Amino acid sequence: MSRAERLLALLERLRRHRRPVRGEQLAGELGISLRTLYRDIAALQAQGATIEGEAGVGYLLRPGHSLPPLMFGVEEIEALALGARWVAQRSADPALGEAARQALARIRAALPAALRHELDHNPLLVPPVEQTRSDPRWPGLLRQALRQQRRICVGYRDAQGRFSERVLWPFALGFFEQARVLSAWCELRQDYRHFRLDRLQTLELLDSSYARPRQALLAEWRAREGIPPLE
């Protein structure tokens, strides 16, 4: 690996972490010594990368630093193509599926010819599956509520056919094989609850935001469920 490739790889690893990551971990991932890592951190900082931290504490790349123009390895191309095809085929969200196709087209336009060929002839396919049906409007409205941290009012019919009306604070949307599931704080139950989109009868975005940040709700829910925090 050349020094330029190593510096790019270091930037990419820093981008993956939302909290400071120790130098020992970065050096181990890159297969270099701590001394080399410290030199590389200093070189990136000199080039304008906003990397905060110090030896023994950890390093964090602040938002706003632009990476070099698009360049991917073959396996990264395979991962991108597979992910975009999955969203397009199985998300049950027409707007999100179209966005995945558009994003892949933009990536394709920026690739050199050899990698464009790999993308066009990628053999990893995602067959369509029959999904439980839900109103095609729900995913887009829920994604809007998640982005804007809006309270929502839903009419919901549970597995036993019982109907209830709830005001929810949505914080996550899960894309499972046969169902899409909303995770939310329920004002009625004063607790976390999960709702299948195909059982929603009505959905309304309310004008008010919920009282706690979405990230805090997600972190508390993950801790309760024993799910490791996002890196």
| Each residue's pLDDT tens digit, 3-56 | 767 887 888 888 888 788 999 999 998 999 999 999 999 888 887 788 888 777
Model pLDDT, residue 8? 78
Classified by CATH at the fold level, domain 3-61 comes out as Arc Repressor Mutant, subunit A (1.10.10)
For 52-75, how does the pLDDT look when each residue is reduced to its tens digit (9 = 90+)?
Answer: 887 778 899 887 655 554 567 778
Digit-coded pLDDT (tens) for 77-115: 888 889 999 998 888 888 998 999 998 888 888 777 777
Average pLDDT, the chain: 86
Is 171 in a helix, a strand, or coil? strand
pLDDT, residue 2, reads 67
Domain layout of the chain by residue ranges: 3-61, 74-120, 137-225
pLDDT value, residue 231: 46
| Residue 226 in this model has a pLDDT that exceeds 90 | no
Judged against a pLDDT cut of 90, whether residue 131 lies above it is answered with no
Give the pLDDT mean for 143-147: 95
147 burial (CB, 10 Å; 0-12 / 13-18 / 19+) is exposed
Token pair 């995945």 is found at 100
Q: How, if at all, do strands 180-186 and 191-196 pair?
A: antiparallel
The tokens describing 191, both together, are 């607790």
- Residue 172: the pLDDT is 94
Q: What is the pTM of this model?
A: 0.65
Q: From 94, 86, 108, select the one nearest 138 (Cα to Cα).
A: 94
Predicted confidence at residue 1, as pLDDT, reads 63
Q: What are 152-189's pLDDT values in tens digits?
A: 999 999 999 999 999 999 999 998 877 899 999 999 99
Going by C-alpha positions, the residue among 202, 179, 197, 194 that lies closest to residue 225 is 194
Banded model confidence at residue 117, pLDDT cuts 50, 70, 90: confident
| Chosen CATH of 137-225 out of 2.40.50.140, 1.10.3720.10, 3.40.190.10, 2.30.30.520 | 2.30.30.520
**Phi, psi torsion values for 195, nearest 5 degrees:** -135, 125
Please tell me the distance from the alpha carbon of residue 97 to that of residue 85, in angstroms, as a whole number.
8
